[in-house]
Amino acid sequence: SLPGLCPSSPSLKPKHNRISKPIPSLPKHSLAFSTQSNPNSKPVATQSVAREISADLSKMNNVGVLKTAKQGGLEKDPKALWRRYVDWLYQHKELGLYLDVSRIGFSDEFVAEMEPRFQAAFKTMEELEKGAIANPDEGRMVGHYWLRNAKLAPNSFLRIQIEKTLDAVCKFADDVISGKIKPPTSPEGRFTQILSVGIGGSALGPQFVAEALAPDNPPLKLSFIDNTDPAGIDHQIAQLGSELASTLVIVISKSGGTPETRNGLLEVQKAFCEAGLDFSKQGVAITQENSLLDNTAKIEGWVARFPMFDWVGGRTSEMSAVGLLPAALQGIDIREMLVGATMMDDATRSTVLRNNPAALLGLCWYWASDGVGSKDMVVLPYKDSLLLLFSRYLQQLVMESLGKEFDLDGNRVNQGISVYGNKGSTDQHAYIQQLREGVHNFFVTFIEVLRDRPPGHDWELEPGVTCGDYLFGMLQGTRSALYANDRESITVTVQEVTTRTVGALIALYERAVGIYAALININAYHQPGVEAGKKAAGEVLALQKRVLAVLNEASCKEPVEPLTLEEVADRCHAPGDIEMIYKIIEHMAANDRALIAEGSCGSPHSLKVFLGECNVDELYA
Ligand X SMILES: O=P(O)(O)OC[C@H]1O[C@H](O)[C@H](O)[C@@H](O)[C@@H]1O
CA distance 167 to 161: 10
For the bound state, the minimum distance from the C-beta of residue 478 to ligand X, rounded and expressed in Å, comes to 32
Of 166 and 197, nearer to ligand X (C-beta) is 197
User: ∠ CA(202), CA(285), CA(230), 5° rounding?
Assistant: 60
For the bound state, the minimum distance from the C-beta of residue 252 to ligand X, rounded and expressed in Å, comes to 6
Of 199 and 444, nearer to ligand X (C-beta) is 199
3-state secondary structure of 436: helix
> Which amino acid is present at 611?
L
For the bound state, the minimum distance from the C-beta of residue 320 to ligand X, rounded and expressed in Å, comes to 11
Residue 400 annotated as catalytic: yes
Residue 429 annotated as catalytic: yes
Cis peptide bond upstream of 425, omega within 30:
yes
The residue annotated as part of the active site, out of 129, 318, 400, 488, is: 400
Of 16 and 535, nearer to ligand X (C-beta) is 535
CA distance 80 to 500: 34
CA distance 599 to 591: 17
Rg (C-alpha) for the chain, rounded Å, is 28
Of 383, 571, 350, residue with least CA distance to 494 = 383
CA distance 470 to 432: 17
Of 396 and 521, nearer to ligand X (C-beta) is 396
Of 530 and 540, nearer to ligand X (C-beta) is 530
List interacting residues with ligand X (CB under 6 A).
199-202, 253-255, 258, 261, 314-315, 400, 527, 530
Of 199, 177, 182, residue with least CA distance to 333 = 177
For the bound state, the minimum distance from the C-beta of residue 499 to ligand X, rounded and expressed in Å, comes to 23
Q: What does the DSSP 8-state code read for residue 71?
A: -
Of 6, 85, 4, residue with least CA distance to 40 = 4
H or E segment at 480? helix 467-484
Q: What is the sign, positive or negative, of the torsion defined by CA atoms of 555, 561, 562, 566? A: negative
CA distance 231 to 70: 52
The residue annotated as part of the active site, out of 16, 59, 151, 429, is: 429
CA distance 73 to 600: 59
For the bound state, the minimum distance from the C-beta of residue 400 to ligand X, rounded and expressed in Å, comes to 6
The residue annotated as part of the active site, out of 534, 545, 557, 573, is: 534
For the bound state, the minimum distance from the C-beta of residue 161 to ligand X, rounded and expressed in Å, comes to 18
Q: Which residue is nearest to ligand X (CB)?
A: 314
Of 204 and 334, nearer to ligand X (C-beta) is 204
**Residue 516 near residue 130, CB atoms below 8 Å:** no
**What are the residue numbers of the active site?**
400, 429, 534
